[in-house]
Amino acid sequence: MKIAVAYFGIPRNSKICYPSILQNIYAALPERADVESFYHFYRQDRVRNPHSGEDGALDSENYSAFAGMQGVLEPPDECLQRWEFERIKEFGDAWGDDFVSLGNLLRQLNSLYEVVSQVESFAPDFVLFVRPDLLYHDPMPSYIFRFPGLRRDNVYVPNWQWWGGLNDRFAICGRDSYKAYGRRIERIFDFCQATGRPLHSERLLKYALRQARSRVCTLNVRASRVRLDDKVVEELFSSRKKMKRREDRYIHPLSTLRTFMDRFLLIR
């Protein structure tokens, strides 16, 4: 089994976050799996985010934990022109903060897109999309990595903070679904035109996975954002709804034998 761990965005507070990644992500992976780690980060020495109130220096030591991995560092603003930021702004500002959050979302989506380009040559059975600036509280469940052939269309997302779409903080994707998750930036204009809405992170993810006919499943795994000043954000971890099964499909029809077998084999 081949598993890719794909980091995206900006590493912040690695002294707090990375130990939780080692404990709750790497330690939860099957012992005999072939695991490779990849990253796409933005090269910057300062973080300024009026939405979160952050404005301060970004210590270069935050990048050190990832130095032995395969990855790319990119300046933070080159991607905005590449993905037509000015045109995206014409659809509106979902956050109402003069497009600051919209620009940050576009950078995140570009980072996902770029790390997928690295992962692709590895031909993984599973891809874990991991934000490096989260404090992970719970281990990834081991059952996910059983029978990878039956889970190739699955996308596992956290069962909290869906905001009208799907939680996009982190995910585990099968080999036939990780590109739909990681390359959803290509769906931006389709989403805005089809829905008549401004670009919105969680709603775009739901739209992209629906278009790809991926099977969306839920994870009872919590993670908190850690700010530049080491403050851990108090998150809302209430589930979207109570889950009676370990995997609930919201998108894919339940009419295939593979889906039935996947449910049957989930019993621990």
Question: What is the mean pLDDT of the segment spanning 232-261?
Answer: 51
Helices marked H in 25-154: 78-82, 85-89, 100-119
Token pair 């794909």 is at which residue? 6
Question: What is the mean pLDDT of the segment spanning 65-92?
Answer: 96
pLDDT at position 34 over 50? yes
Residue 52's pLDDT band, with cuts at 50, 70 and 90, is confident
In this prediction, what percent of the chain has a pLDDT beyond 90? 77
E strands along 43-159, which residues?
A: 46-49, 54-57, 70-74, 126-130, 134-136, 154-158
pLDDT digits (tens, 9 = 90+) for 127-158: 999 999 999 999 999 999 998 999 999 999 99
For residue 262, CA distances in Å to 28, 31, 111, 203 come to 20, 22, 31, 27
pLDDT at 264: 42
SS3 260: helix
Average pLDDT score, the chain: 88
Evaluate whether 260 touches 163 at the Cβ level (below 8 Å).
no
pLDDT at 242: 41
Q: Taking the domain 2-265, which CATH number applies? A: 3.90.550
pLDDT digits (tens, 9 = 90+) for 198-207: 999 999 999 9
Cross-strand bridge partners of residue 40: 8, 72
Q: What is the spatial distance between Cα 255 and Cα 257, in angstroms, rounded to a whole number?
A: 7
pLDDT at 238: 76
pLDDT at position 255 over 50? no
pLDDT digits (tens, 9 = 90+) for 105-126: 999 999 999 999 999 999 999 9
Give the helix/strand (H/E) hosting 205. Answer: helix 201-212
pLDDT at position 7 over 80? yes
pLDDT at position 76 over 80? yes
pLDDT at position 82 over 60? yes
pLDDT at 99: 94
pLDDT at position 195 over 60? yes
| Sheet strands side by side (includes 34-42) | 70-74, 34-42, 2-9, 126-130, 171-174, 154-158, 215-219
pLDDT at 171: 98
